[in-house]
Amino acid sequence: MDKDRITGAAKQVKGAIKNAAGKLTGDAKLQAEGKADKVEGKVQNAVGSTKDSVREAVRDTKRDF
């Protein structure tokens, strides 16, 4: 598992917590930061997933030779 996937998942959790805290306190700025963190985490997770797929494809290609 790529480190970007782990970091991305952590950012998603952080964003969800910020978003919920913003909703509870009525803080629109905190809520917006939470949403932004969640999106950033999703993107980073996708990058890590792509890296994993490329590594796996390269590994499979090397086995064929």
Residue type, 55: R
Q: Where are the domains of the chain?
A: 3-64
**Quick check: 51 and 2 in contact, CB under 8 A?**
yes
The two three-digit tokens of residue 54, written as one number: 């490329």
pLDDT in tens, the chain (65 residues): 889 999 999 999 999 999 999 999 999 999 999 999 999 999 999 999 999 999 999 998 888 77
10 Å CB burial of residue 34 (0-12, 13-18, 19+) is buried
> With the C-alpha atoms ordered 56, 57, 62, 65, is the resulting torsion angle positive or negative?
positive
**pTM of the entire predicted model:** 0.83
Query: Distance between CA 38 and CA 63 in Å, rounded?
Result: 37
Q: What is the pLDDT, as a whole number, of residue 63?
A: 83
